[in-house]
Amino acid sequence: MPTLYGSKGSGSAIVEAALALVGADYRRVDGAEWERSAGYEELKTVNPLAQIPTLVLEDGTVMTESAAILIHLGLVHPASGLLPGDASERASAIRGLVYIVANCYAAIGVIDYPERWCQDAEESTRQAIIAGTKARLHGLWDVFADQFPATPWLAGEQAGALDIIASVVSRWSGARAHLAVAKPAFSELLGRIDSHPVLAPVWARHWAPK
């Protein structure tokens, strides 16, 4: 069966939710750079960048990059609705997946690790980078909410890959709080994705209520 490398509260929840939606069995290995566990050492043997999520398919093919994994799973499991069956809707969903990864997910990497982008920066510079990137991130979510309306889900008639990635990535860097004020209709959709009967158990494992 496939092996998914990840960590609680991380982007691996995206792939875990997708595997739940398609009904696929898999082996889960907890391992991330910040954990330095045996799972992390195993992860480095299949992905030298040690990024999560990393999915190793049944035939040993290594898949990284959340959007790529979601698209692959949607193509392999067309009946799951992970990707829309209609060609135009599928094109829009793929655009949305890449938009979130290239813009929102990338911005979170800068917010979490500004030192990677500005070496030897003073703390004031570091905080300025974080603040500016966070404002940019929230603006990017505003654009997404306007460009990708729910009909009734982001993926179309049923929840799919675009709903999953939007739900996870919007949990970070204050995006949910911003969207609740700036884009209440989109915020309501995120709440419905949170409550989806197949996806909710995955969210609960990663983000248990405090």
The residues spanned by each domain of the chain are 3-80, 87-199
Does position 205 have pLDDT exceeding 90, yes or no? Answer: yes
pTM to 2 decimals? 0.95
CB under 8 Å to 110, separation ≥6 — which residues? 116, 117, 129, 130, 133
Confidence grade of residue 38 (pLDDT, cut at 50, 70, 90) = confident
CB under 8 Å to 72, separation ≥6 — which residues? 63
Quick one: pLDDT at residue 37? 78
pLDDT in tens, 69-123: 999 999 999 999 999 999 999 999 999 999 999 999 999 999 999 988 888 889 9
Does position 3 have pLDDT exceeding 90, yes or no? Answer: yes
Looking at domain 87-199, its CATH class is: mainly alpha
Q: How far is residue 134 CA from its own chain's centroid?
A: 17
pLDDT in tens, 46-55: 999 999 999 9
CB-CB contact of 193 with 166 (8 Å) = yes
Quick one: pLDDT at residue 72? 98
**May I ask the CATH architecture of the domain 3-80?**
3-Layer(aba) Sandwich (3.40)
